[in-house]
């Protein structure tokens, strides 16, 4: 017995609801966390997902941008969101899963940061760094209620390790793999006592990607990916993780997201 959690930046849930339905039908995670839903609050297309058994839906959305959602076969309570950087955008939603050990689940969409890795001239990059700084403080004080395990998933928009990108040397000055971002994300991981479940099952010496750019003429042949999507847990759940699955083939589905689903399984 166990349960599974998946994360996927869907890049417009209404545009790609057929892909979400396909993934749930074929791979059946117990919980799916979506980012960049681009869907106004109250307009999440959950009907077809409920018909598959995903009756519990937490959404936090806005028109045109950002947005996060959790769809689950496991009942949950305590939906909440934190407004990082007081921007009023929809980048975090959390619930408490009704599992044998109560588990709080956080779903994040961290700012991408624009193209120029210089906070002095790029407001988007400055926002990203501020978000990360606030997240570090939050993760030490608010991420895990007493007596709970915790899971943090989402499009964190940073590939922190050398083998999380197709070329460490070429991407050192590219947003998502700059030293300041990578160190900030690893500091958050250390501060919160988080365990990188993906790298628990795939050694840090092996390439591991979850995103391939739309700009590539042949993304599969080029294989210039980055690991921007993550699954972190507290120690107890990390010890009970039994495997991960990066569904690379989803990048080749019709009208795909540039991210693919990532799923982790846990024993009870």
Q: What pLDDT does residue 83 have?
A: 96
Strand order from edge to edge, sheet including 31-35: 56-60, 68-72, 31-35, 2-9, 262-267, 241-246
Low-confidence ranges of the chain (pLDDT < 70): none
Pairing label, strands 195-196, 229-233: antiparallel
Q: What pLDDT does residue 234 have?
A: 97
Q: What pLDDT does residue 13 have?
A: 98
Q: What pLDDT does residue 101 have?
A: 87
Q: What pLDDT does residue 1 have?
A: 76
Domains and CATH numbers, the chain: 2-267 (3.60.10.10)
Residue 96: CB atoms within 10 Å: 18
Pairing label, strands 211-212, 241-246: unpaired
Q: In angstroms, rounded to a whole number, what is the distance separating the alpha carbons of residues 258 and 57?
A: 24
Q: What pLDDT does residue 42 have?
A: 93
Torsion angles phi and psi, residue 20, rounded to 5 = -60, -45
For 198-233, the pLDDT digits (tens) are 999 999 999 999 999 999 999 999 999 999 999 999
Claim: this prediction has a pTM higher than 0.75: yes
Torsion angles phi and psi, residue 3, rounded to 5 = -150, 165
Q: What pLDDT does residue 34 have?
A: 98
Q: What pLDDT does residue 268 have?
A: 83
């Amino acid at each position: 017995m166990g349960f599974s959690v998946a994360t996927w930046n869907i890049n417009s849930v209404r545009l790609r609801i057929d892909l979400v339905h396909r993934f749930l039908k074929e791979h059946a995670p117990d919980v799916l966390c979506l980012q960049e839903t681009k869907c106004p609050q109250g307009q999440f297309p959950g009907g077809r997902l409920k018909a598959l058994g995903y009756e519990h839906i937490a959404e936090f959305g806005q028109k045109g941008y950002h947005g996060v959602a959790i769809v689950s076969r496991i009942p949950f309570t305590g939906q909440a969101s934190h407004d990082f950087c007081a921007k009023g955008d929809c980048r975090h939603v959390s619930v408490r899963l009704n599992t044998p050990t109560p588990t709080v689940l956080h779903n994040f969409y961290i700012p991408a940061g624009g193209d120029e890795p210089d906070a002095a001239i790029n407001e988007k990059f400055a926002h990203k760094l501020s978000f990360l700084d606030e997240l570090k403080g939050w993760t030490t004080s608010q991420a895990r209620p007493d007596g709970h395990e915790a899971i943090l998933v989402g499009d964190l928009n940073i590939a922190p390790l050398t083998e999380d990108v197709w070329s460490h040397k070429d991407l050192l000055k590219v947003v998502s793999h700059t030293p300041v971002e990578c160190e900030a994300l690893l500091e958050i991981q250390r501060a919160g006592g988080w365990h990188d479940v993906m790298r628990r099952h795939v050694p840090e010496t092996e390439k591991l990607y979850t995103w391939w750019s739309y700009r590539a003429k042949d993304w599969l042949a080029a294989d210039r990916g980055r690991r921007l999507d993550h699954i972190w847990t507290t120690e107890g759940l990390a010890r009970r993780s039994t495997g991960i699955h990066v569904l690379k083939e989803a990048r080749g589905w019709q009208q795909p997201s540039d991210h693919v689903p990532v799923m982790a399984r846990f024993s009870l």
